[in-house]
Amino acid sequence: MPIIVNLDVMMAKRKMSSSELSEKIGISMANLSILKTNKGKAIRFSTLEAICRELDCQPGDILEYKD
Amino acid sequence: MKITGKKSLGKFIEICLILLMIVGIIIVLGLPYFLQKYVELTNSQIEYYPSLATLYVSGIPALIIVYQFIKIFHTLGEDNPFQKSNVKSLKIISICSFIITIEYMIAIFFIKSVFSIVIIGVFAIAWLGGYILSELLKKAIDYKEENELTI
């Protein structure tokens, strides 16, 4: 998968736990875990928006393209 | 009309399928006896062993088809019909129908009966229909997976 989700790096920077983040953005822990382990196939803009808002970052900070 | 759950058409269908399965097993197991009786009662001029072989080759795939239907219906009752196992079941149904179609296409030269043509027609439709439905289900599973992994 060339698109990599670096969510855990950003979460570590903001010192936020998975359960806290999942509660704040309103998705289940299971789905957040899918996202963090790069098993997801797509991400909704609304989810991305919520993550960026809560972690105070840009989409580029959590998504990375690798060839 | 409700198909699944209690007090619905589903229970009736399930009972019908299981009855079909039981009757089917009894008939297949007792084929030599039943055919003997049929020959005695009707005095027909059929050849015993070729007829027996024909009936066995069509009877066993038919039983497998009924069994697969029971399996598919069971997953429907569990409210989770979009499974890889159902794709396989439909493929097996398609293959079994194909076997019966081919068998009766050969048998029609020996058993000169209108019913052979009807059987060929019905099972040819089941063969193609089963194949198309299995492909359809495969696509549906792909969509479901994609949808579930969109977060």
Q: Which fold has domain A3-65?
A: 434 Repressor (Amino-terminal Domain) (1.10.260)
Contact yes or no for A42 and B146 at CB 8 A: yes
The answer to whether B96 touches B59, Cβ cutoff 8 Å, is no
The token duo for A37 is 């382990």
Q: Which residue of B has its CA nearest to A39?
A: B149
Interchain CB contact of B145 with A (< 8 Å): yes
Q: Which of the residues in chain A have pLDDT under 50?
A: none
Domain boundaries, chain B: 9-148
pLDDT, position B67 = 94
The answer to whether B39 touches B32, Cβ cutoff 8 Å, is no
Model pTM score: 0.77
The tens place of each residue's pLDDT in chain B, 151 residues long, gives 566 666 677 788 888 999 999 999 999 999 888 888 888 888 777 778 888 888 898 899 999 999 999 999 888 888 888 989 999 999 999 999 999 999 999 888 877 778 888 999 999 999 999 999 999 999 999 999 888 888 8
Domain boundaries, chain A: 3-65
Contact yes or no for B149 and A47 at CB 8 A: no
Give the integer Cα–Cα distance in Å for B109 and B71. Answer: 35
Contact yes or no for A34 and B151 at CB 8 A: yes
Of B79, B69, B74, B84, the C-alpha closest to B139 is B84
